[in-house]
Amino acid sequence: MIEKFNFYDIYGYLLPGLALLGVLWLPFGLVAHIWPKSDWGSAILALAFAYLLGHFLQTFGATGLKSKVAPNNRFPSDAVLDAGSLPDEIRIKLAEIIKSRFGIDLGIHQPHSEPIDLLRNHAFFLARSVLVREKTASYAEQYQGMYALTRGLAVVSAWGVAYWAGWATSIYRTHPAVVSATVVLTIALSSLVSLAAWLLQTSLAKAQRSLSERISLFAVIPATLLAVGYVVGLRYKLTPTHCFSLVLAAIAGFAACLRFYNAYKTFAFHFAIAVWRDFLAFNAFLADKSSNSTSSCKYHSTYPRPKSESVP
């Protein structure tokens, strides 16, 4: 919806990418007191890398986290058109405009069903396309950036829980534990590569609809990070204090994951409402502009011409 580097790039890509870098670096700082350098070159490199990581995070988030966060497994853009979600005057006016412009019946007076939700979904994307083309979306862009940010932070927090837990458990360095971690890491990496290759051949829409595919994504990557955290932690001398700090970080990360996911669902609803309202406001502006133009034409046609401009 946003074509240039601005609000969405910062909130959707850069900030989640920076958060992921912080999650990966935190154990090194706590255990080995190794912190990032503070020079400009390192900062610029970190920002560039974080921006790239942000794209990966959003790709995973869009595929792994379902967009149907409304009750009954529905898109927010469809559910907000039900009775009681928006004022009836707005719903009726939207239905009239959508019917007039696109010939689509939103079915606002009917109980929701899959055919109606499908039509509403198409109408929503058509409305978004109009707003993007006319560059009139205002609050919708902000809410889109915020739900992308909270979705990315929810993913980062979940990954942090697994990664920090792996570091914490590396204090147990028995031979069976090391062998088990190596086996898990090998299987997880192989599964991750296979899953990535399979996703390249599968459309994003299909991946969003399949529960088993989302479960695979959420199981494989955390398992990989858990094993990676354990293996990397073996290189450092952990104390019980370090483990306690990492466990606390994992608990806080789990709480943050739940909080960010709830915020993601909230902003997804606000985004859908903002698109519908912006589209309604844009059409009201067009109607007002057309009315003023017609009134102006009538005024000039009825007002008598000066003698100097009269036609002989």
pLDDT score recorded for residue 204: 45
Structure tokens that stand for 15 in this block:
């900030």
Segments of the chain with pLDDT less than 50: 1-3, 203-209, 299-312
pLDDT score recorded for residue 95: 92
pLDDT score recorded for residue 296: 53
pLDDT score recorded for residue 121: 92
CB neighbour burial string for 130-141, b if at least 16 within 10 angstroms, e if fewer: bbeeeeebeebb
Q: Of 270, 264, 278, 272, whose CA–CA distance to 77 is shortest?
A: 272
Rounded Cα gap, residues 86 and 281, in angstroms: 15
Query: What distances in angstroms separate CA 236 from CA 25, 27, 167, one per listed residue?
Result: 14, 10, 10
pLDDT score recorded for residue 214: 59
Name the DSSP class of 235.
Answer: T
pLDDT score recorded for residue 288: 75
pLDDT score recorded for residue 109: 87
The position carrying tokens 């996703």 is: 199
pLDDT score recorded for residue 112: 83
pLDDT score recorded for residue 289: 76
Rounded Cα gap, residues 168 and 238, in angstroms: 8
pTM above 0.85, yes or no: no
Crossing angle of the two packed helices 15-32 and 240-302, in degrees rounded to 10 = 170
Round the CA-based radius of gyration of the chain to a whole number and report it. 27
Q: Of 294, 88, 257, 75, whose CA–CA distance to 160 is shortest?
A: 257
Q: Of 23, 56, 58, 57, whose CA–CA distance to 250 is shortest?
A: 23
